[in-house]
Structure 1
Amino acid sequence: MMWGKIALAMSAFAANSIFCRLALTQQMIDPYSFSLIRMLSGALVLALLLRSTQQLKPNRLHWKGGVYLTGYILAFSVAYVRLDAGLGALLLFGTVQISMALYALYIGEKMTWAKAFGLLLAFSGILILFLPASHAPPVFYVLMMVIAGLSWAAYSVLGMSSTSPVLMTYQNFLWAIPICLLLSVGHFDQVKLHGLGVVFAVISGTLTSALAYVLWYKVLKKLDSLTASTVQLSVPCLALLAGVLLLHEPFGLKMLLASMMVLSGILLLIFAAQRLKHTDHSSPI
């Protein structure tokens, strides 16, 4: 059951990349409007899921989640204005992987040889798939994607302590809206709003963001930090495969090999984590 939830969440995250690329690269919408509509529509659909009107009020305890969510969504959108899909995905999930792995070591999670090999195999697959870059990207947009990765890593770590995924995700979105508006000041002259771009932003906000984040928060409670970060390395592969099928992007042997390495590394890491958990439970006290 957990495997299916993980696969669904990762597929939704990959779909976000597709929607964002379609909307921004074809100039259907500007990144600030895309981010804000994504947050507004996400907050609305989550509000409909909450049973009590009392829960709809902002809670000061969740302002950090709003900051992390804004950092991810806004920086992600701005970066994809100029970065190509492959390099952007490498920067994003490479940053997530490294930062969450360092956090796992910091809090004292066990690093076994199987975990280390799974991590190395998955990350090597990402490197094979996306390097070398075809051109040197602008430093500003590289920095934006790194900020997006750090923000998403922090958002994922925060979700590991969630007791009510729907409520916590709603509060995160609620706090993200005014923060995003504040950061968008000075960019209102760049507003572009075309029908299809708005549709992509709404779908991204409701289905592949808000509902997917609730699912991700539920899954996170059963994963350690290292496994959670490595699982997300599947997203660039899924996004590229979707690009091949939907956007007619080229597919080659390198992509196939790299995707197999990433998925194999993920399976090894999850297996190692479950085996370690089973060993700890079966050990005498």
Structure 2
Amino acid sequence: MAMNHSDLTLNGLHGNPMRSLLSEHQSSVWASGDLAGNTHADYDGRSTVGEVGFGVGLSHGVQVNVALGRAWSRQNGIYQSESTVKGIYVLPELIVRIPQTSIHATVSLMYNDGNADIQRGYLNADVATGSQGDTDVKTYGGRLRFDWLNAIDLGRTAFTPYFSQTHLVSKMDGYTEAASAFPVHWRASSDRTNTSRVGLDAVHVVNARLTLLGRVEGAHRHEDHGSNVEGVILGAGGTAFNLEGRGYKQQWMRTGAGLEALLGNGTATLMLNGTTEGEDASYWLTAGYQIKF
């Protein structure tokens, strides 16, 4: 889950860097958030991400952003299993326009320091019971993205193709469940994912105060399953086990539609996204407000 909401942060909240470009010596502040749900396959979960940030145009074609935020995810499973992961993250970002072109390269890094509260449900003599534990989770990684800004310009409507590569690593400390019928000691684990995305952003200017946004994207997860999980069932025998990591759906599509509107001294953004069955959230709503000065 920590991996999923970190990916949502990089490719949700920070999934359209061309809409926040700054001119030389211009600055901006923003507040934004994602509200997501996931019902794909065996998932039944939800996530929220919220942040505040500051950006500055250092020179013509060079911009630096930094954001501080909080991410939260909850996943429900069989026999009343429930896992909650939450953490605080920092996300620095550099946007550079390649000279003599309209292509922009964006490098985004992030580090999330969090914890997990895990309720594992199971049957004991046909009676539903559970064990509980908590541990620390750290997630870090980054994304490299290229946008060919307004590659197709039709006046009021423009299209920007893009490509991105996201790499994330998540590490969970080992922990021992509280006393129950069959408590388990879970060994420390780590997982990593690499995801490529290619897409097309559309922008249509309705008038001086309102702009419509659209997106279509294809994604490919390079790994076909997660890392194995190891542990020991405590009590008589102390049986050790090694469980194969969950299989991934490696390809999926994403579409999005939204708007930008001038509001007060800044710009408000609202965008609804949905995906086919894959490793992104099933749907999420992004909302934000940015002031440039």
Q: TM-score, normalised by structure 2?
A: 0.26
Flag the structure with larger Rg.
2
TM-score by length of 1: 0.26
